Amino acid sequence: MHAPCRHRSRRVATLVTALAVACLCAPAAAATPIGVGDVSANDSDPNVSHVAPYVPGDPRAVLQAVPARRDPAVRNLLALRRALDASPKDLRAADALARAYIDFGRQLGDAHYAGYAEAVIAPWMAQPEPPPVALVLQATILQFRHQFDDARVLLKQALARDPRNAQAWLTTATLDMVQGRYPSAGAACAKAARYGGRETGIACAANLHSYTGQARQAIVLLRQIETDAPSVSPSFRAWVQGLMAEASERLGDWSAAEAHYRKALAATPDDNFLQVAYADFLLDRNRAAEVLPLLANSLQSDTAYLRVALAHAALGDADTARFTWTMAARFEALTQRGSDYYGREQVRFALYLQHDPESALKLALQNWNVQRAPWDARVLLEAAKAAGRPAAAKDALAFLADTH
């Protein structure tokens, strides 16, 4: 690969981190979840969320499957870790390792890696005036945790010191889009385009168009960079195809959406974010049976596990109660750890697995106060309809009418 392509790949890899609202999810066991005993021997109601700690009786019991050291991504992390250990004061080495942790956590759906990234940059964040690079990284981690206000504070600090920081502008645009602040997002995209280059500007603009009722224009823009796919990384190809799939869904073009999802997964078959998005597509198309093999190897991810539970429920099979019980235990574990950034997932769990529309509506309204992406509007509308309280969604309906 020629040097310009290497440079473009690095810039685009940064885009993937900035523009994808990652579903970083706390891990649970692939076989027996940590904190959950033998379900078959437990007389608890399937929907009970308070469970006793699980202590394995067999030392050979598998509590959690972890990535193998032979995994290329793991080898890359180990190499970056060694580089930082050799030069612990090198901010560039810390930045590379922290971003690799964030990307890997996004791929697996494992929030632990965001914590690892936070630990890497902690020495720089502890300085009286943290460098912009560290501020933007910390803001990205806070964004993943849905601590949006705190993330904005750090981004403003970074941009005050480095107004040409394209990554900071991209992350600001992402936050604005997630929270429905589209005019502000447009301004941030313009800055990102000015300082980040062609791919940056096109990607940011396309993402914004897709959010504001201009999905056709978004696809036209994305096709301009789709042609670059042969010369860039698989993650970039997957990312572009994923955006095109979402835009096609918003147009109701199901065959095109599926084709783009399949292309995205062909490039990065183990990407949790894409797997979950495609699983939602399949659930919407009444193809729940296809969700089970798609996510069979991704049950460590809570977002993937929820889709498997929803698929079992849609199929009406006997495993639904077990998956519902385990999902409740996972949400309880997240609550005990202080994680409150699974709003839309909790709404869907309450509505479609616990069959409690009032609780779902309450959760949906709380979530709507924090973020207003398309899925957030959707779950609020679904919960309000199920609860027989359409007026409760009036703010969401007004938002949709205003933003298209």
In tens, the pLDDT along 381-403 reads: 999 999 999 999 999 999 999 99
More confident residue, 77 or 70: 77
Q: Reply yes or no on whether the pLDDT at 49 is more than 60.
A: no
Residues 6+ positions from 75 with CB-CB distance below 8 Å: 69
pLDDT at 167: 94
**Helices 3-19 and 234-250 sit at what angle, rounded to 10 degrees?**
40
The residue type at 288: A
User: What percent of the chain is predicted at pLDDT more than 90?
Assistant: 68
pLDDT recorded at residue 179: 96
Alpha-carbon distance of 299 to 285, in angstroms, equals 22
pLDDT at 325 over 90: yes
Q: Beta partners for 301?
A: 27
What confidence tier does 58 reach under pLDDT thresholds 50, 70, 90? confident
Q: What is the pLDDT of residue 348?
A: 98
User: What's the CA gap between 166 and 179, in Å, rounded?
Assistant: 20
Mean per-residue pLDDT, 282-288: 98
How high is the pLDDT of residue 32? 31
Which DSSP symbol is given to 53? P
- Crossing angle between the packed helical segments 166-178 and 182-196, to the nearest 10 degrees: 160
How much is the pLDDT for 340?
A: 64
Residue-wise pLDDT for 236-253, tens only, equals 889 899 999 999 999 999
Please provide the average confidence, as pLDDT, over all residues in the chain.
86
Cβ atoms within 10 A of the Cβ of 106, count? 25
What token pair was written down for 87? 């030069």
Band of pLDDT at residue 8, cut at 50, 70 and 90: very low
Distance CA 186, CA 224 (A): 19
Q: Tens digits of per-residue pLDDT, 336-383?
A: 776 666 889 999 999 999 999 999 999 999 999 999 999 999 999 999
pLDDT at 291: 98
User: Which has more pLDDT, 288 or 227?
Assistant: 288
Phi, psi of 38 (to 5 degrees): -70, 110
Q: What is the pLDDT of residue 71?
A: 77
Q: Would the pTM of this model clear 0.95, i.e. be above it?
A: no
pLDDT of residue 162: 97
pLDDT of residue 7: 40
Q: What is the pLDDT of residue 233?
A: 81
- Predicted local distance difference test score (pLDDT) of residue 54: 75
**Mean pLDDT of the 228-234 span:** 69
Q: What digits encode the pLDDT tens for the residues 97-143?
A: 999 999 888 888 788 899 999 999 999 999 999 999 999 999 999 99
